Amino acid sequence: MTYYDSRLASVTLVAALATTSVVALSPSTALAVPPGGYGDLVEAVSPSVVFIEVTGKASGTGPAGAMPQGMPEELRKRFEKMIPGDRGDAPHKGVGSGFIISEDGQIVTNHHVVDGADSVLVKLADGRSFEATVIGSDAMTDVALLQLATDESLPVVAFGESDSMRAGDEVVAVGNPFGLGGTVTSGIISAVSRDIHAGPYDDFIQTDAAINRGNSGGPLFNNDGEVIGVNTAIFSPDGGSVGIGFAVPSDLVQTVVADLQDDGTITRGWLGVQIRPMSDEVASVLGYDGPKGAVVEAVTEDSPANKGGLEKGDIILSFNGTEIVELRDLTRAVADTAPDKSADVEILRKGDKITRQVTVGTLGQQDA
């Protein structure tokens, strides 16, 4: 699994809009893909896809220091082979892609493209360059929002509905792989709602459209020229595209962007439990077709869960009306609940279904 770092020569793994300034105008021309290819679509959307150059402070660490905490050992070894040695105190530079969502110059890209940036330079397809500031960035979804320093009216692209996309639908990726600006690749959606174990918001669109280093933060378009995903990662044994790429779905991106536009930060709910999946054996004993719910391994002292009466061994079946089938269902439902809001938690305790009410806290660095 390869995630593109904001360093030119390194790779690092990186783990929710309805506002006037972000709802971009749809292209005026019909963008149905003709038998001849994607030329009309690309011509319409390319002016809004940008090339991003980032300069950041030197980390003063070797490859191991660039790795996120908790990375599996086998994955860590794979990345270390791809990352050159310590570059000392030299500032690191990086490249990525992005796309313009408002005429006043707001741009969506990946968090890991601009993470730690001292300066961000954005180059448009027509050759113009602008300095940009980071309005806000969210590591959990790998989404960042930039603002260009310009009074000019800029070309924009619109978001589409990622939930309407299906495996087999055609898609087009536009970006700047390896610094080659304005590169277009096409393919299909290979899978939807893909969990690659990068974090609680894993719900990726998988595509076989070629995505390489430098494509990070670039748009994945449907046949109407609407952005239905933000390219963020590939699976690759050697750093190059092997036809397995991942994009953050646009429905999630829009929610995150709307939150970042407000104050540049993301506020999420916190419950205060450590959880694990239900075993097949327990599911069989309970008469379920398969494992479901989240088993509470531990309850943090003085947490919302602790104050709400949750205990170790409880099986959480639903949270605030959301059925919990997989662990990510709970982490996402909790995170998407506003802090200080009351939520009903349906649990299974010693064979009995009971409901507890909790007042959700604010997520810091705690677990679910």
In this predicted structure, which of 143-157, 208-222, 235-249, 268-282 has the lowest mean pLDDT? 235-249
Q: Decide: pTM greater than 0.85.
A: no
- Token pair of 88, please? 């000392």
Q: What are phi and psi of 343, to 5 degrees?
A: -140, 140
Query: Which position has the higher pLDDT, 122 or 244?
Result: 122
Residue 76: pLDDT band by 50, 70, 90 thresholds? Answer: low
**Residue 60: pLDDT above 60?**
no
Residue 90: pLDDT band by 50, 70, 90 thresholds? Answer: low
**Residue 78: pLDDT above 90?**
no
Catalytic residues: 112, 142, 216
**56 near 91, Cβ under 8 Å?**
yes
* List of long-range contacts for 129-133, beta carbons under 8 Å, 24+ apart: 130/105, 132/52, 132/105, 132/107
pLDDT of residue 199: 67
Q: How far is CA 53 from CA 9, 78, 93, 155, 357, in A?
A: 13, 26, 7, 20, 48
**113 near 54, Cβ under 8 Å?**
yes
| pLDDT tens digits, one per residue of 184-193 | 998 899 999 8
The CA distance from 105 to 156, in Å, is 9
**304 near 358, Cβ under 8 Å?**
yes
**Percent residues over pLDDT 70 in the chain:** 76
**233 near 215, Cβ under 8 Å?**
no
Neighbour count for residue 160 (Cβ, 10 Å): 22
Neighbour count for residue 172 (Cβ, 10 Å): 21
3-state secondary structure 286-315: HCCCCCCCEEEEEECCCCHHHHCCCCCCCE
| pLDDT tens digits, one per residue of 305-317 | 999 999 999 999 9
The CA distance from 226 to 285, in Å, is 47
**62 near 141, Cβ under 8 Å?**
no
The CA distance from 167 to 156, in Å, is 27
The CA distance from 199 to 14, in Å, is 9
pLDDT of residue 267: 87
pLDDT of residue 205: 92
- The DSSP code sequence of 172-189 is EEEE-GGG-TTEEEEEEE
**Which amino acid, residue 360?**
V
pLDDT of residue 179: 73
| pLDDT tens digits, one per residue of 148-158 | 989 899 999 99
Q: What's the whole-number mean pLDDT along residues 257-272?
A: 92
